[in-house]
Amino acid sequence: MISYFSNELTTIRQISDLRFGVPILLGHKNSYEIIVAIETLNMETFQKILKYSNSSNLEPYLAITKNRASFLKARVYDENNARIKIPTPISFDWIKSTADPAKDFDYPLKGPYFSIREGNSNISEVAIHFCKKAQLLPSVLIIPINSTDLSQLKKSGLIYQKISKNFEIKTIAENLSLISTGRVPIPGGLNSKVSVFRDLNSLTEHYAIEIGVLDLSQPILTRLHSACFTGDILHSLKCDCGEQLSATINKIQLEKSGVILYLNQEGRGIGLANKMRAYKLQDSGLDTFEANHRLGFNDDERDLSIGSRILKKLGINQIKLLTNNPSKISALENSGIKVIKRLPLLSKETKENKSYIKSKKEKSGHFFL
């Protein structure tokens, strides 16, 4: 994960603006650029901001992730992303189709793509990261502007932020605050309470569910569970998330105490809308990781260090972890939580989840023993 430090309020507002289709302004050294998320870009905004490329005499370009670029067979010269030249005349539909995999079949002959090698990629790197934080498709339209246009656009209300070589966005885990705690009776007779933690960067909330009386002198039975609307609420057969959550509650009740950290990182951190896009791609034959890549995401976009920060706020430093995911073990241990023991969560393999479980086992090293 990118570890950037910035004016937090400005960052929050810029991420929110991208989500609503409002352009933002980023600067680096003597370069200034208009940024707009392609997913939320509409024709009216497109026509307005395109006028500024004429006054700056600098060509607009797209920034996409290396995973999306790989599918489009575009060269990647930057570390994580590719900056793509826009062919003339500039087409709104071409820009949209480059970013959105749903349009790959409607516009199958979009290429060839020509990537930008020269220049600095700092702004595009930050812009893509902001898109991911907004849970949008990670693709942006970037229009370089001059200082005169920058002043005019700032006066019009667009938010500007200057970045530097050391520009950082604080990780979520560094900005968690406990908001409230309340008793929540659950089946099984054990006392339980829910504590709500809020990420002050994105205002996302995560929940700690304490069941029974915790003995902090002993390792606490713990589960890091990422929100899964389809599995936890709808009991979808496509994944094993709902089954794992139910099994966790049963195991904690048998042991008389434990903690479930329910983290709002749907779809391994890409959000529910992008998860549904990935499901549609999976219906065409891609596995869960291939679908993420085609959308422009990594295998896993979650910040698992959130779990360690919450555990520490609860006074928990050693745990018995209910998981099949080795990444969760390493993330917690690297953040100062001692994982005394790993306990498996075995799920029934069905016709519907067979491919999903197979992909997790073969591509991300999940244990199923």
Burial of 343 (0-12, 13-18, 19+ CB in 10 A): middle
- Sequence letter at residue 75: R
Angle at CA 113, nearest 5°, toward 110 and 117?
Answer: 160
Residues with a catalytic annotation lie at 300, 302
Q: Which of 292, 264, 254, 293 is nearest to 202 (CA)?
A: 264
As a whole number of angstroms, the distance between CA 23 and CA 141 comes to: 10
Here the tokens at position 123 are: 């702004």
Contacts of residue 92, Cβ cutoff 8 Å, sequence gap at least 6? 43, 46
**Beta strands at 168-169 and 4-5: parallel, antiparallel or unpaired:** antiparallel
What tokens does 158 get?
A: 């667009």
Residue 165: burial class (beta carbons within 10 Å; 0-12, 13-18, 19+): exposed
CB 13 within 8 A of CB 118: no
Cβ–Cβ < 8 Å for 242, 225 = no
- Which of 108, 109, 101, 105 lies closest to 39, judged by CA? 101
Adjacent-strand bridge partners of 160: 25
Nearest Cα neighbor of 25 from 117, 151, 134 is: 151
